[in-house]
Amino acid sequence: MRDIDCSCSRGFRKPAPCPPAEPPRCGYLMQQIVGSGRAYLRYERFSLCPEDLPCDARRPLQLTGVSADACGVSARVRPDPCCRGLSLLVQIPLRLCVRDACGCDFTAASRIEVPVSLRLTDPSRADCALPSAAACVRLVRPCGEDHGALDAWLDVYVEAWLTACRPLYSGPACPPPEPQLPLYPQPCRFR
């Protein structure tokens, strides 16, 4: 028998290679502010209990300076019954400059707490949000010492936020689908 030589067998197109799998989309988490608030206490009286004061400090003590320790500012969420929302209780560590009766200067630590009401932008995400705060404190007028506590008039400025992480995806948009190839090769045409 004679083999039939089909001239079109050389003209067959190779099947198209499989399209590459779509590369995984890159994603990252981005912090989103879901609530914010601020409090400005102007000329407010505080009673500061000095900690870590040396034993050789002689009474009466005089307060000469107050500053906030920015690294130690912390906040915790608490329900706010007044406005039926949320508020943060911000704890601000303070560094006190104290002068004793002999004129020696010492450094002591103290802390104050300031409530901050929040305005929520996305209440549905408030339950999984993390609080953060920043504070600034200025000594306006020192007062005397009262039973081991130093009284002072302070200006306190606090900004607080609730942040939640939201996933964001980046990468190229999906390419348009290619036309479907036939499942079988086209029949040969004999000449």
In this prediction, residue 48 carries a pLDDT of 92
Cβ atoms of 135 and 25 within 8 Å: the answer is no
**pLDDT, mean of each 10-residue run, the chain (191 residues):** 52 62 67 91 93 84 90 86 78 93 91 92 82 94 83 94 82 61 66 57
Residues 6+ apart with CB under 8 A from 170: 25, 26, 27, 28
Q: Does the predicted model carry a pTM greater than 0.85?
A: no
**Identity at 147, one-letter amino acid code:** H
Within the chain, what is the greatest distance between any pair of CA atoms? 125
Please choose, from the candidates 135, 115, 125, the residue with its C-alpha nearest in 3D space to the C-alpha of residue 163: 125
Between the alpha carbon of residue 3 and those of residues 6, 11, 12, 190, the distances in Å are: 9, 18, 19, 14
Q: How far apart are CA 178 and CA 132, in angstroms?
A: 49
Task: Give the whole-angstrom CA distance, residue 119 versus residue 39.
Answer: 12
pLDDT score recorded for residue 6: 52
State the DSSP H helix or E strand holding residue 40, giving kind and residue range, or none if neither.
strand 26-48
CA distance 189 to 95: 94
